[in-house]
Amino acid sequence: GAVVSQHPSRVICKSGTSVKIECRSLDFQATTMFWYRQFPKKSLMLMATSNEGSKATYEQGVEKDKFLINHASLTLSTLTVTSAHPEDSSFYICSARDRTANPSTDTQYFGPGTRLTVL
């Protein structure tokens, strides 16, 4: 199946700094990429949807100025957590949809996630 990578897999940072997480689709072009946040023993919460070349669409309650999303190419999306605080510590997962697939039948492929710890 299709592969989605994330980098870094783990990051520890000090409060107030910014952290960038990269998400790449390795063997397909992704028209749409999604960013999720997963809390311990909880489901995945969709943060935002990004389409290549356009602004991301954020879910209600997600601060777009804090979680900056850039979808610069069909294979790369980045999530930047700005001025991170301990409450931003979480597991962030990206997902990508294959551009060539039928929109009504295609599948999302998930990255391995990035564990962010803010001290």
Rounded Cα distance between 24 and 5, Å, is 5
Question: Please, which residue, 13 or 106, has the CB nearer to another protein?
Answer: 106
Question: Please, which residue, 87 or 105, has the CB nearer to another protein?
Answer: 105
In whole angstroms, the minimum distance from the beta carbon of 83 to another protein comes to 27
Residue 74 has φ and ψ, to the nearest 5°, of -75, -5
Question: Please, which residue, 34 or 67, has the CB nearer to another protein?
Answer: 34
Question: Please, which residue, 29 or 49, has the CB nearer to another protein?
Answer: 49
In whole angstroms, the minimum distance from the beta carbon of 20 to another protein comes to 20
In angstroms, the Cα distances linking 118 to 29, 40, 68, 80 are: 32, 16, 17, 14
Rounded Cα distance between 52 and 74, Å, is 6
In whole angstroms, the minimum distance from the beta carbon of 46 to another protein comes to 6
In whole angstroms, the minimum distance from the beta carbon of 105 to another protein comes to 5
Rounded Cα distance between 119 and 112, Å, is 23
Rounded Cα distance between 37 and 48, Å, is 10
Binding site for another protein (CB under 8 A): 1, 4, 32, 34, 41-44, 46, 49, 93, 95, 97, 103-105, 107-113
Residue 68, both tokens: 């900056």
